[in-house]
Amino acid sequence: MKTPRELGDRLDGLREVVRLGGGRVGPELLVPVEALLSQASARRTLSPDRTVVALAGGTGSGKSSLFNAIAGGELAPVAVRRPTTSRARAAIWPAGTEGAGDPTGLLQWLDIRDRHVLDPRATRTDLAGLVLVDLPDFDSTAAAHRAEAERLAEIVDVLVWVLDPQKYADAAVHQRYLRPLAAHREVMLVALNQADRLDRDALEACLRDLGSLLSADGLPGVPLLATSATQPGGADRLVDALSDRVTTQRAAVDRLHADIDTVLVALGPACSGPPSPRPKRRAGDGQEALIRGLGTAAGVEPIAAAAGASYRMRAIATVGWPLVRWVGRLRPDPLRRLHLGAGQGGPTSRPAATGAQRAQVSNAVRDLVSQSATGLAPMWGAAAAATLESRQPALIDELDRSVRSAQLSQDDRPAWWGGVQGAQFLFLVAATAGLAWLAVIAGFAYLQLPGPSVHLGRAPVPTLLFLGGLAAGLLTSVVSRPFVNLGAARRRARAQRSLDAGIRALAQREVLGPLADELAAASAFCAAVDSARR
């Protein structure tokens, strides 16, 4: 038997269900939970020492007569062939303690206007605190009467179904009303009324048959009582049963527990999904496919190649053979052409993501959701997919920002560049000096004058300076080329790593993080459902 404290814990679980399910779980599941929470909040604060018992039944079952018999007076009009209860009426037993249990707020919440407060001197003391409600007939021809009966049947503490020997086996009653209340058997009683019309054997046969029908309805063990509104003491067994419910003051708690069980049945599919029809791949597969798709759409490979090419161009312009390296300056820097170099502002001019690349990203996101949501109810995969789909336009737009934040700077200059550049300058000076010296010697020879020539051994120094400077510069340029290529490869690799890191951070922020939040919400939602089941 569950306690009021356990009821509070279960209601807390349902509140968490509503919080986590908002925007993720369909309203057809959450609306009943919200209605139950509202109902529970009201019922637990309105006259918790009162027990509301409703008599429900169809036309001719003698429900109103039984109501009068229990109340000890003609409070409800009675007719044999037509429904007479057009609106609910209540008989109120005074509370056992003076000044306690004022039912006004409770009756306003129940929206019962026809009320009769009984004389405490003429009522059983063990029924103190009882509010007995005579519901309109469930099979009334007036839709408003049926709606009123169904509304109150959903919120009263105890429901007494009054059946008669002629229509107790009516399939419509069992299929439409009794069977859906299987979870409420702890707060239900069934009265086979008009028992005085049957002899003993017929009554026992009816009770056995009705008991079998109730078991088939999922209501085994529900108290089944024979009653009569016309025979003296014919309602005593029912009154005794109501006395037990009133005395323990557990009916309202039991009813809310039963209501929680009912909504949990509807929530069950949200926390169970069909097994995956294909083997589940590693979670990392989907993530890597997403990152590859984003990298392709961002143009990571061509940008990294441009970073390497930019390094090579600047290196050659610095350490290359001075006589030819100026040619390279005529070509635009690959990074600057993409507006990605140092000091470059404005949007990048990398090629925009094509439709095929965007589709690749979209497919990768959907595949990642499908893999990650394997084993969950379909609604959670759909909720995650909807969340990520709404972020995809921003995801594509964020690629530019991710690229611009990558480490693609052109400002760094390795120390060896300066050394080689200085050597090339010296070689160029030597070659220029040798050429100038040779020109002076040629001028002297033209004037048939002895020239200022100096020899080192047999070799003239001017010629050595000129040819040696040219050869040394060219050789230095050739020797430097492998180091330039190595530096370009490293720069490309560094740019690739920086771009990949940015893409991964973007994927984490815009896809993987939100997806993890959705999956965590699914897990927490189901944990809250489990908490409400306890």
Which of 437, 431, 417, 439 has the alpha carbon at shortest distance from 487?
417
Mean pLDDT of the 230-245 span? 92
Mean pLDDT of the 496-521 span? 87
Mean pLDDT of the 111-122 span? 88
- DSSP at 61: S
Condensed to tens digits (0 to 9), the pLDDT of residues 348-385 reads: 555 566 677 778 788 888 888 888 888 788 888 888 88
The SS3 of residue 163 is strand
What pLDDT score does 326 carry?
65
pTM recorded for the entire structure: 0.73
Residues of the chain by 3-state class (helix, strand, coil), percent to 5: 65, 5, 30
Which of 271, 203, 263 has the alpha carbon at shortest distance from 237?
203
- Token pair recorded at residue 529: 């459902």
Contacts of the segment 204-213: beta carbons below 8 A, 24+ positions apart: 206/165, 206/168, 209/168, 209/169, 210/163, 210/168, 210/169, 213/168, 213/169, 213/174
Kindly indicate the confidence band of residue 91, based on its pLDDT and cuts at 50, 70 and 90: very high
What pLDDT score does 339 carry?
66
d(CA 379, CA 385): 10
DSSP one-letter string for 325-377: GGGGGGSPPHHHHTT-STT--S---SPPPPHHHHHHHHHHHHHHHHHHTTTS-
- DSSP at 55: E
What pLDDT score does 353 carry?
62
The domain spans of the chain are 1-48+249-271, 49-248, 283-533
CATH architecture of the domain formed by 49-248: 3-Layer(aba) Sandwich (3.40)
- Token pair recorded at residue 531: 């908490």
* Phi and psi at residue 506, to the nearest 5°: -65, -45
